[in-house]
């Protein structure tokens, strides 16, 4: 990898993931899969989570060649992503909050968990308000099943352009239960 440009020397080709197989519970009750770029898929006790689902072709509002995703081949068919319990977004940069992905999955997601202010993007993209849960840092938690998800500080910044820098919150997340303790932070 060229560390100066932070870009891989060649395309990163992830392993294919069969979503139906991924959804099945195994002995560990916990699965995680990298979907490329900033996106991860989790199965925790049978609940399906997407973290920063950037599955579009470019991490930008316009498709500039310099802002193409690192891997053009997705490890999963985006249309197979149904019955998603929770999508967690860390911040509103284009490489973490992808309009094209949200448009494709929004009707298959029960809840979007986002830092304060990020929900405005989702509502503007016609995600139903009752599906959007915004949290502030610290003592605000979201519970799903036996999992508790806490919005925590992160060292970063937010914004989708020069005119709205730091206008929304950016955060890390703690996902905890009896079977898992997960810390999710993006940059």
Cα-Cα-Cα-Cα dihedral of 170, 179, 39, 24, to 10°?
-150
65 phi/psi in degrees, rounded to 5: -55, -35
Half-sphere exposure of 57 (CA within 13 A, CB side): 4
**What tokens were used for 28?**
């560990």
Is the separation of the CB atoms in 116 and 169 below 8 Å?
A: yes
**Could you tell me the domains of the chain?**
19-184 (3.60.15.10)
pLDDT tens digits along 20-42: 999 988 766 889 998 877 889 99
Maximum C-alpha span of the chain: 49
- Report pLDDT for 158: 60
User: Dihedrals φ, ψ of 34, to 5°?
Assistant: -85, 130
Q: Identify the residue whose tokens are 């019955």.
A: 83
pTM over 0.75: yes
pLDDT value at residue 2: 46
pLDDT in tens, 58-114: 565 666 566 666 677 788 888 999 999 999 998 776 676 888 899 999 999 999 999
């Amino acid at each position: 990898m060229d560390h100066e440009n932070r870009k891989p020397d060649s395309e990163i080709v992830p392993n294919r993931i069969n979503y139906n197989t991924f959804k099945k519970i195994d002995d560990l009750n916990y699965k995680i899969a990298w979907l490329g770029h900033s996106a991860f898929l989790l199965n925790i006790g049978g609940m399906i989570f997407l973290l920063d689902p950037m599955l579009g072709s470019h991490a930008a509002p316009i498709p500039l060649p310099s802002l193409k995703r690192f891997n053009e081949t997705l490890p999963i068919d985006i249309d197979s992503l149904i019955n998603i319990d929770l999508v967690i977004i860390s911040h509103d940069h284009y490489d973490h909050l992808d309009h094209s992905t949200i448009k494709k999955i929004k009707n298959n997601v029960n809840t979007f968990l986002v830092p304060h202010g990020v929900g405005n993007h989702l509502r503007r993209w016609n995600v139903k308000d009752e599906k959007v849960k915004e949290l502030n840092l610290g003592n605000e938690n979201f519970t799903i099943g036996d999992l508790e998800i806490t919005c925590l500080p992160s060292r970063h910044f937010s914004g989708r352009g020069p005119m709205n820098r730091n206008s929304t919150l950016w955060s890390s997340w703690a996902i905890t239960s009896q079977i898992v303790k997960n810390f999710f932070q993006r940059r």
